[in-house]
Structure 1
Amino acid sequence: MGKKDKKVISKKEETKKDAVKKKNSGFNILPFILPTLALVLAYPSYHVYQHIVTVPEVPQLDLDYWWGPNDTRSNQNKEIRPFRVVFGDGMLQDLRMRFDSYRAETKKVKSLQDAAWTYGVHSEAFAQFFSNWIFQYKPEERVGFLNQFNHFKTNIQGLDIHFLHVKPKVKEGVKVYPLLLLHGWPSSVREFYEAIPLLTNIREGYDFVFEVIVPSLPGFVYSQAPVRPGLSPTQISIVMRNLMKRLGFTKYYIQGGDFGHSIGSGIATLFPNEVLGYHTNLPAHFDNKAYVAWALGAVWKKIVENVQCPLKDGVEFFLEEFGYLHLQSTKPDTIGIALQDSPPGLAAYIIDRVMIFTDANNKNVEDGGLSKYYDHTKLLDNIMLYWASGCITTSIRLYKESVANVEFEQTVTKIPTIVPTWILRLKNELVSHPEFILKWKYTNLIGSTTLDYGGHFAALELPEDYAADVFKAVKSFVQFKNKQNAL
C-alpha cells in the first residue's frame, strides 16, 4: 500500500473520529424528550385514573327538598288517602272521537314489504292492535281489574304520590316482609299486577310472604310531577324512601328494573341501614369503569365471553334502537306534545319500545312479537293509564333529568352498595354485565339467577319466574343476615 493510500485511510479515520467526537461533545436531546413526554401523558392519565377509581363520599342531600308548588308547603296534607282509578265518561268520549278521526284518515302510510319492524311499528300489526283497542278492550271492565288492589295517595316533599298497598292474608306463624316494587319507562304499576298475588300468598318451601308497596314514580300515571327541574333518579330514591317512612316501614326489601333499578340502587346506597336486601332484573353497573371494561372486551376475548355482547354488536344495537333516549334526554316536552295529542301515536310509540326491549329479534317479525309475548289487554291497560292521566310528557322528562344531573348521578353510582344484592339475569335484557363488574358496585352480591329466555319487563312477561326469584333472593338475604349475626 502506497503513502498516498495510507494518507487517504488516515484522513477517513480522522473524519470518523471527529464525527464521533463531535457527536459525543454535542447535546443529545433524546434522553430528555422521553421522560418529558412520559410526564405530559402521565398527568392527564393519572387524573383519568383517579376519576375512574376514586370512591366519592356520600353527598350532602336535602331529604325534605320541596318539589311541589311553593305555595303548598305551609298546608301540606300528610294523610294517606284512598284513591281509585277512573276512566271518566268525558275522557272516553274524547278517546272515541279521536279513534274515529284516525280511522277516517285516508293518508295512512303502509309499511314497506318485507321490512317487518326494522322501520318501526309495522302498519298491519298496529292495525290489528288498534282494532283490539276499539272493539275488544272494555274500559269499564278494565277499571274494575285495575282497582282490584287498594290504591292510595300521600304527599311526599310537595308531590302527591300514588301507590298500591297490598297486604297478605296469612296464618299465624307466617312472617310478612315489606317489599317495595319499582317500575321504569314506559311501564307503570300495571307491570306488577300478575306478580302481586304470587308475592302476597304463601309459597311452598318458604315461611314468609310479602306486604307489597308499588308506587307510581313522580310524573308517572297518577303521581304528581315536580314543578321545577332536578328530580333525577337519585332524588326520586329519596322520595321513595320517604314514602316508606311515611307508611311506617324502617326496614324493607326492594325490587326494581329499568329506572326502578337505578332508584332502588340509590335507596340501598344512601340508606343501607334501612334496606334489608335489593333484588334487580337489570344486571348493570352504570359507571365509567364498567364502560371501560366493556370496551376492552373488544380486545380481550375473556371479557367478551362474560359480557352480553361484543363491542361492535352493542354499539350497533345502541345506534339503531336508542334514538328515543337521545330525543327524550334533550327535548321531552316536544315529543310529549305530539304523543299526548294522538292515542294511536302514543300506543305505537310505547309498544315499539316494549316489544323491542322484550326481544330485539321482534323487529324481524311482521307482528313484532305481539302474538307471542303479551296479551294485548296487558299492553292496553298500561297505555290507557298513560293516556287517562296525561303523563307521557312528565314521564319522559326523567331522561332529561338523568342527563342534566349526570355528574351527581355518577357520584352516587360510584359509591359501593353494601346491602345484600341478588341479580335476575334474563336472556334478552338490554344490558347485562358480568358479576365481577357488578361486584364493584354491589359488594355483597350474594347470588344470581340466569334464565335463557325473557326480556326487559320481567314482572310483566314472566310473573311466575319473577316472583319465584324474589322469594329465592329474600330467603338468601335472611340466611346471609343470620350468618352475619352469628359471627
Structure 2
Amino acid sequence: MWLEILLTSVLGFVIYWFVSRDKEETLPLEDGWWGPGPRPPTQEDESIRPFKVETSDEEINDLHQRIEKARITPPLEDSHFHYGFNSNYLKKIISYWQNEFDWKKQVEILNRYPHFKTKIEGLDIHFIHVKPPQQPHGCTPKPLLMVHGWPGSFYEFYKIIPFLTEPKNHGLNDEHVFEVICPSIPGYGFSEASSKKGLNSVATARIFYKLMLRLGFQEFYIQGGDWGSLICTNIAQLVPRLFGFTKRDVELLYPVKEKIFYSTLRESGYMHIQCTKPDTVGCALNDSPVGLAAYILEKFSTWTNAEFRNLEDGGLERKFSLDDLLTNIMLYWTTGTITSSQRFYKENMGQNFLAIQHERMKVHVPTGFAAFPCELLHVPEKWLKFKYRKLISYSYMPRGGHFAALEEPELLARDICKFVGLLERQ
C-alpha cells in the first residue's frame, strides 16, 4: 500500500545521468508491439516527423454546444470542496470557457515549442524538443527528459522550460543549461494509445529510452512526477547507470491519522475506479467537457493544497490561471484520451502491485528528491533510502504541491540545477 500511496501522492523529482553500467539487478530490456494487429514483417519507420497542434471551428463549436447543454446539480450549503468540485464555482469555469477562453490562442502558445512524432513499438509517440536559443559559453547543453503524470500533460513543463534553457535570462546561474525533451505518455495527449492490454510503466520507460537513443542521446538526465517518477525509476532499472531524486519530516508527516485518512480515503477514490473499470467512467468523461473539467480540476485543487477544500473556489486561481487549467483540459478533450490515460492505472495497479518485479527492485544509482510540503503524503529521506540506495540530494522545498513544475517552476528548476551540481562534483 505504501508504494501505491507513494505513486499517487508524491511528486517524485527524479533525475538520471547515464554513465557506466552497474552490476546490480536490472529489468530485462525487452521489446514490444502495441499497435493494431500483429507486428508487420518490415522494419519500423524510425523517422522523426515535425508535428503541429491544430484546431478547427467545428471542434470549437462542438465543444460550446456540449458546454451549453451541461446539467449542473446545485451544491450543498457551505460544502466548499468537501464533496468534490463545487458546482457554483464550476459555473464560473463554464462561463469563462464559453466567453473568454481562446483555444486558438492557446494552440499558438502550444506551438511555441517544436513538436515532433516518431513511431516506437507500433505507436506514434509525441514529444516537444526545446533547445537553448543560444549556445551557452563554456558548456554543452545537458539533455533532460521530463515526464508528466495524471491528470497532467506535457504542457505542465511550459513554464519551467525557460528556466532550464535560458537560465541567465531568468535569474538563474547559467552553469547548467539544458535542452529539454517532454514526451506524452502513450494514450495521453498526442501520443497514440495502445491497441493491446499490458502497456504499463516499464513498457513506457523502454519506449522513452528508445526515444532518447533515437534522438542521439546515450547519456541524459530525467525528471518526473506522479507516473513520471515511476517511469523514470523504471528507466534506471532497465539501464542503471545514474539516477537523480530529492525535526522537518515530523512536521510534514503528522498528524499521521489525518495524513493517512486524507491520502487513502479522501483522495484515492478515483484511483480505485481507474485501477478496475477505467472505461466505464471514461465513457462519461469523454462525452462531457464539463464533467471532464470537474473531474480533473478537482485534483488541481486538493493536490495543490489540501486546505483548498475549505474554499468555495477550491483555491484554483491562487496558483494557476484559468487559461493554463483549461489548456490542460483541452489536451484531454480534443484528443479524446481521458479513457486511455486512465487505463494506465489498470495496467500498472490492476494486479498484485507489490508482486511486480520492478517494485521489489532497488535502485543503485545516484538519486535526488524534492519534498514539496503540500504533497498528500510526505516521504522522509530514510524511507527513500530503502529503495534508492544512493540518495545524494534531498530537498525540503519551501512551498508547492503535486503539480510543482506548473505551480513553482523556478523552485523546481533551481533544485534540478542543485542536483546536477552535486552530481558533477562527485
| Normalised TM-score (structure 1) | 0.78
Unmatched 5+ stretches in structure 2: 1-23
Aligned mate of 1:328, from 262, 274, 291: 274
CA distance in 1, matches of 2:167, 2:135: 8
Equivalent residue of 1:96, what SS? Answer: helix
1:269/1:310 Cα in 2 relative to 1: closer, same or farther (>3 Å)? farther
Q: 1:187 aligns with which of 126, 148, 152?
A: 152
1:304–1:310 contact (8 Å) kept in structure 2: no
1:458 paired to 2:410: no
Q: Paired residue for 1:278? A: 244
Q: CA deviation at 1:184?
A: 0.1
- Tell me the alpha carbon deviations over residues 162-221 of structure 1, each in whole angstroms, 9 at most, x when there is no partner: 000001122442321000000000000010001011110144444230010000001001
| Separation in 1, partners of 2:402, 2:254 | 16
Question: How many residues get paired?
Answer: 397
Give the direction of change, closer, same or farther, for the CA distance of 1:153–1:116 in structure 2 (3 Å limit).
Answer: same
Which of 41, 44, 57 is the matching residue for 1:74? 41
The structure 2 residue matched to 1:176, chosen from 141, 160, 183, is 141
Distance, in Å, in 2 between the alignment partners of 1:446 and 1:406 is 31
State whether structure 2 residue 311 is matched by structure 1 residue 347.
Answer: no
The answer as to 2:214 corresponding to 1:249 is no
Q: Is the 8 A contact 1:188 1:216 kept in 2?
A: yes
Per the TM alignment, residue 465 of structure 1 is displaced from its structure 2 partner at its CA by 0.7
- Whether 2:157 is the aligned partner of 1:211: answer no
Q: Which amino acid aligns with 2:395?
A: T
Q: CA deviation at 1:77?
A: 1.9
Q: Is residue 300–residue 316 contact of structure 2 (8 Å, CA) maintained in 1?
A: no
Which residue is 1:147 aligned to? 111
- Offset, 1:67: 1.3
Task: Give 2:381's match in structure 1, choosing from 412, 430, 435.
Answer: 435
Matching of residue 308 in structure 1 with residue 253 in structure 2: yes
Q: How far is the alpha carbon of 1:327 from its aligned partner?
A: 0.5
CA offsets per residue over residues 266-305 of structure 1, 9 Å max, x none? Answer: 11122123xx44246xxxxxxxxxxxxxxxxxxxxx9983
CA 235–171 in structure 1, closer or farther in 2 if over 3 Å, else same = closer
Instruction: Specify every segment of 5 or more residues in structure 1 that has no aligned partner in the other structure, as ranges.
Output: 1-55, 281-301, 481-487
Q: Which position in structure 2 is the counterpart of 1:197?
A: 162
Matched-pair contact (CA < 8 Å) for 1:183–1:259: yes
Secondary structure (helix, strand or coil) at the match of 1:97 reads helix
Report if aligned partners of 1:254, 1:279 keep a CA contact under 8 Å in 2: no
Q: 1:465 to 1:110 in 2, by over 3 A?
A: same
Larger Rg: 1
- Say which is worse superposed, 85-94 or 190-199, in terms of deviation: 85-94
Alpha carbons of structure 1 residues 421 and 304: separation in structure 2 relative to 1, 3 Å: closer
Matching of residue 373 in structure 1 with residue 319 in structure 2: yes
Cα distance, 1:247 vs structure 2? 0.9
Deviation at 1:440, TM superposition (A): 1.3
Single out whichever of 125-134 and 87-96 deviates more from structure 2.
87-96
CA distance, structure 1, for counterparts of residue 361 and residue 163 of structure 2: 34
Matched residues in 1 for 2:104 and 2:158: separation? 18
Asked if 1:83 is matched to 2:29, the reply is: no
Q: Residue type matched to 1:170 in 2?
A: Q
Amino acid at match of 2:55: F
Q: Does 1:239 align with 2:207?
A: yes
121 and 270 in structure 1: CA distance in 2 versus 1, 3 angstrom threshold:
same
Q: Which amino acid counterpart does residue 69 of structure 1 have in structure 2? A: P
What SS does the aligned partner of 1:175 have? coil
For residues 222 and 386 of structure 2, the distance between their equivalents in structure 1, rounded to whole angstroms, comes to 20
- Listed one character per residue, the Cα deviations across residues 125-183 of structure 1 (whole Å, up to 9, x for unaligned) are 11111111111111111110000000000011111100000011224423210000000
**What percentage of aligned pairs have identical amino acids?**
42
Q: Tell me whether 144-153 or 312-321 shows the greater mean CA deviation.
A: 312-321
SS in 2 for 1:401: helix
Q: Is the 8 A contact 2:332 2:338 kept in 1?
A: yes
Would you say the 8 A contact 2:32–2:203 is kept in 1? no
Match of 1:385 in 2: 331
Task: Say which SS state the counterpart of residue 203 (structure 2) adopts.
Answer: helix
One of 137, 144, 162 as aligned partner of 2:126:
162
Check whether the contact 1:230–1:405 (CA below 8 A) recurs between aligned residues: no
Q: Secondary structure at 2:40's aligned position in 1?
A: helix
Secondary structure of 1:444 counterpart: strand
Supply the distance in 1 between the matched residues of 2:191 and 2:141 (Cα, whole angstroms): 27
Letter in 2 for 1:239: I
> TM-score of the superposition, structure 2-length normalised?
0.89
Instruction: Report the alpha carbon displacement of residue 243 of structure 1 after superposing the two structures with TM.
Output: 0.9
Deviation at 1:87, TM superposition (A): 1.7
Q: Is the partner of 2:365 in helix, strand or coil?
A: coil
Moved over 6 A (4+): none
- Check if 1:115 corresponds to 2:79: yes
Q: Distance in 2 between matches of 1:429 and 1:441?
A: 20
* Counterparts of 1:408 and 1:218, CA distance in 2: 24
Larger deviation, residues 415-424 vs 202-211: 202-211
2:414 is aligned with 1:468? yes
The more displaced of 422-431 and 403-412 is 403-412
1:465 and 1:390 map into 2 onto residues whose CA distance is 33
Rounded to whole Å, the distance in 2 between the matches of 1:370 and 1:407 is 33
Residues 310-336 of structure 1, C-alpha deviations (whole Å, 9 max, x = no match): 442233111122111000110000000
